[in-house]
Amino acid sequence: MTGRRAGLFAGVCVMGGLAMAWPHAQVAGPGAAPAQGAQRGGGGRRGGQQAQPMGTITPMTPDSRGWGWQVKASISPDTPRPFYNRAKELLFQDKQVTSYTVSRFDPELYCEVGKHFDFVWFEMQHSTMSWDDVAKMIAACPRVGAAPMIRMPDALEANMQKAGDLGALGVIVPTVDDALEARDAARFARYPPIGRRSSGGGQYSLMWNAPGMNYRATINDNMLVVVMIETLEGVANANEIAATFGVDVVIQGNNDLSAFSGWPQSDDRYQDLLTRTHDAALRAGKYWGNAGAQFLTGNRLSADTRFVQNGPARDCWVPPARGRGRGSNEEPTVGVAGGAQAPAAPPCVVK
């Protein structure tokens, strides 16, 4: 049996176990009533309403090495600190990082939100932006503060090369189902000898080769590679995905994970999926998070949710009205059952 077939066979076996542990996976779809014995709350606001569910699996807790120990161990001692990737530097300081989603061409918006957030999430999976649009926005205000990161359409070498060459400091790769996809995300994001990124031209040299900054010598350590687990297959392979060398952060695509599993985010079985990927990331020495900022507060995994799409600005700055940059391409607030109210936005605390 080849390694690829063996991996698929193992994944099918694990998913079979998930199905037996959580019966009738596809019966309870988003908006359906919680399964018997599953739901203890409706994901409502604090202060009198029901709390988010907690799941049935006890999460692992960090040992003395803490979160991201393997990522930290992979950094060259010669790489200057702090990183010019703000989000990665804050993760190394054991802080949560939040973003602003930009899904259409708006250099003015990008330059403003970049002053306040840890990273900017350029949406290239579900938007019609071009690579040129993203390149022009990043060039409009070099080193604005927030790390420019791109949610990729895929981890193909051609697209990963473009992301690096236009000056992105991180990639977020969606729907990663196995270690092979995770490997491609990691290896095409970094130069040899640890990666497979090709040497080429691009505006990255204008962005990060300022006085005292050597891009070629430091970008491998400044690059932040994030993979999204969004399916039951991905959860089944979470240990292998998280253990892939070069992957820094594992997050859930919360809306798609709910859709692919058939369980609303207010279901304990769904929360158990989060716990499984949480434990895989912790075990592998990586960072963990959610695309949904609703998990920053009110959930037993909130303290360990280190990386999210959107969320409050670090300096409590209030973004402009929704619609200029954010839109339907960001994660919904929460997929709760029975029309329950979504939780309030996390309070802004200067971190």
Q: What is the pLDDT of residue 321?
A: 72
- Exposed e or buried b for every residue in 12-39, given b needs 16+ CB within 10 A? eebbeebeeebeebeebebeeebbeebb
pTM: 0.83
Looking at residues 330-341, what average pLDDT do you find?
43
CA distances 178 to 48, 49, 101, 154, 181, Å, are 41, 39, 26, 14, 6
Q: For residues 34 and 41, what is the distance between their CA atoms, to the nearest angstrom?
A: 9
Assess contact for 170 and 141: CB atoms under 8 A. Answer: no
Q: What is the pLDDT of residue 54?
A: 80
pLDDT tens per residue, range 230-243: 999 999 999 999 99
* pLDDT over 90 percentage in the chain: 71
Assess contact for 22 and 272: CB atoms under 8 A. Answer: yes
CATH topology of domain 66-319: TIM Barrel (3.20.20)
| CA nearest neighbour of 181 among 220, 158, 155 | 155
Q: Which of 205-209, 270-274, 325-329 has maximum average pLDDT?
A: 270-274
> Which of the pair, 46 or 111, is modelled with greater confidence?
111
pLDDT tens per residue, range 196-225: 999 988 899 888 887 778 999 999 999 999
